[in-house]
Amino acid sequence: MFITNKPAMIIENRKERYLLIGDLHLGLTSEWRRKGVSAYSQVKDFISKISEMKKQTKASHLVMIGDVKHKVTGISWQEEHEIPEFLSLLEKMFKKVIIIKGNHDGHIEKLIEKKSKVKVVKSLIIGEYFITHGHRKVKTRKKYIIIGHNQPAVKLRDRIGASYTIPCWVIGKIKDKDQELIIMPAFNPLSGSGIVNENEFIGPIAKYLDTKNAKIHLLDGTDLGELKDLKIRTSD
């Protein structure tokens, strides 16, 4: 269900395939430009990556699990232009496009045309999966909970002391419950990350992750073992 080498996963239910991505933070680059960094719209790059994954997986539905836009309150000039463009391209590609609202998605509804088939929801259930952004509390008995919000990455240090921050998946149990939590890496490679072997997880769901048994996988499938053993260990 994880797509090798991509910050994305597939869930199959009733013969439909749902492609999941999260933490896109479109509009982030305008903030950088204001600070003097040359960075341009990511719409085309995102569309080509999504279209490649769609071809590879034959997904019929797209689920964006929050933080499609970057500005927490209000809408930036860049978002006002880029998000409708991005969504209209996605609508042409998928049967359904679902946005699960993240903490950065304030007023995103204003960027969606009335006749659009893009849906905005707080959370979504697909079969045994409960999917939400991860910044608000939820009640569910579903076996699997999928969130984003944390933008997890692991910090590794090599023998000469150079350190690398590499996006990762976090998979573990919810404390005292028979439920499994999957934390997705961010889709936007520029959006920064929460270092799982340095920082605490954020949000009211991830804080109940049983970190003693949580496992870390890199996007290429490398199993780094348990988080508790990864206190900035040396890689070979």
Binding site for Mn ion (CB under 5 A): 67, 102-103, 149
Q: Which residue has the closest beta carbon to Mn ion?
A: 149
Nearer to Mn ion, 71 or 149 (CB): 149
Give residues with Cβ within 8 angstroms of 59, minimum separation 6.
10, 17, 18, 19, 53, 94
In whole angstroms, how close is the CB of 130 to Mn ion at the nearest point?
17
In whole angstroms, how close is the CB of 115 to Mn ion at the nearest point?
28
Cβ-contact 76, 82 below 8 angstroms? no
In whole angstroms, how close is the CB of 134 to Mn ion at the nearest point?
7
Residue 16 phi/psi, 5-degree rounding, is -105, 145
In whole angstroms, how close is the CB of 22 to Mn ion at the nearest point?
8
Residue 49 phi/psi, 5-degree rounding, is -65, -40
- Give the span between the Cα atoms of 74 and 81, in whole angstroms: 14
Nearer to Mn ion, 67 or 82 (CB): 67
Nearer to Mn ion, 156 or 185 (CB): 185
- Give the span between the Cα atoms of 70 and 76, in whole angstroms: 9
Nearer to Mn ion, 89 or 202 (CB): 202
In whole angstroms, how close is the CB of 202 to Mn ion at the nearest point?
8
Q: Residue 159 burial by CB count (10 A; 0-12/13-18/19+): exposed, middle or buried? A: exposed
